[in-house]
Amino acid sequence: MAVAVVTGAAGFIGSSLSTRLLDEGIRVRGIDNFDPYYDRKLKERNLRPLLARDTFEFREGDLGEIDLNRLLQGAEWVFHQAARAGVRRSWGADFSAYVKANVLATQRLLEALREHPVERVIFASSSSVYGEGPGGPATEDAPCQPISPYGVTKLAGEKLVAAYRECYGLPTISLRYFTVYGPGQRPDMAFHRFVRAILEGRGLEVFGDGRQTRDFTFIADAVSANLLAARNGVPGGVYNIGGGSPASVLDVIHTLEAIIGRGAEVCFLPAEAGDPRATSADTAKARDELGFQPTVSLEEGLRQMTGWMSQLLQDPSFGNRH
């Protein structure tokens, strides 16, 4: 049975990816350090169904410290999802945590991979490497000019991955995710905050005027992109992974009001530094080389996310917490 290593396996994307891999008959070795960026209980909740499966093995540990030889032993695929995510908190004193998780830990993993030949290494990159972007759908060769410290660290990760590919032949691929959402989304992300506030009958906060647009990507589509990249991706390749239907933040709030059947009271806050005005992915390369095709519409994805959040709020560990 093939073995896949998933770093950041307790996180939003890593846990969902682990589930899909197990469903496809692949043995998964997950690693996560429960970075304190958000509530550990949410990550433990993500992990619970995985731990019940006998083809899932989990280690708590930091990629910057653990014995990577043990982690990588016999692995065919490595999905490197672990990172300190989130644009807003990457300014100021927290930046060192971003460098440690996103740059130093990535370099340490790549160094260890020199001794462990694997079929593919998939690196979770981000649309934030583009910064403000080209003003229309970005192709992968658009200039990378990140406007947040987070984006700088993700671009550094991509460049490291490319350097180890170039000099040591590591079969690396970078996927540039465009705003991923759906069940399990991180609590700092907008949809998580919006769905929760509307369900709880509280006002919600929007950074900026709400007219900023994003190419929102449903979690199942982001997960599919990882499997397609492992199977079909060209080593050295960089691929945009976007949902295919950009929408504004206000559009999303209106859709949520319709789904939940309740109006939202919106409080507008100043736009945050580092948040681009618009992101939009040209996914032709992922379609042509990987066979990637997003399948879940924004409305359907928001319905699934609302269902998940309703369940989360019924969980006594989360219902009364924020």
Judged by beta carbon, residue 154 or residue 193, the one nearer ligand NAD is 154
Of 48, 49, 66, residue with least CA distance to 7: 66
Residue 172 contacts ligand NAD per CB under 6 A: no
The least distance separating ligand NAD from the CB of residue 281, rounded to whole angstroms, comes to 11
Q: Does 89 bind ligand NAD (CB under 6 A)?
A: no
User: Does residue 105 belong to the site contacting ligand NAD (CB under 6 A)?
Assistant: yes
Determine contact, residues 275/206, Cβ cutoff 8 Å: no
In the list 27, 32, 77, 131, the residue contacting ligand NAD (rule: CB under 6 A) is 32
Q: Which of 31, 71, 75, 110 is the binder for ligand NAD (CB under 6 A)?
A: 31
Q: Tell whether residue 129 is a contact of ligand NAD (CB under 6 A).
A: no
The verdict on whether 150 is a catalytic residue reads yes
Site membership for ligand NAD, residue 173 (CB under 6 A): no
Size of the site for ligand NAD (CB under 6 A): 31
CA distance 101 to 78: 17
Of the candidate residues 28, 68, 101, 161, the single one contacting ligand NAD (CB under 6 A): 101
Choosing from 130, 150, 164, 239, the catalytic residue is 150
Q: Is residue 179 at the binding interface for ligand NAD, with CB under 6 A as the rule? A: yes
Which residue's CB comes closest to ligand NAD? Answer: 11
Any contact of residue 58 with ligand NAD (CB under 6 A)? no
- Closer residue to ligand NAD in complex, CB, 180/229: 180
The residue from 3, 71, 78, 82 that contacts ligand NAD (CB under 6 A) is 82
Residues with a catalytic annotation lie at: 150
- The site for ligand NAD (CB under 6 A) is made up of 7-8, 10-14, 31-35, 37, 43, 62-64, 81-85, 101, 105, 124, 126, 154, 177, 179-180, 186
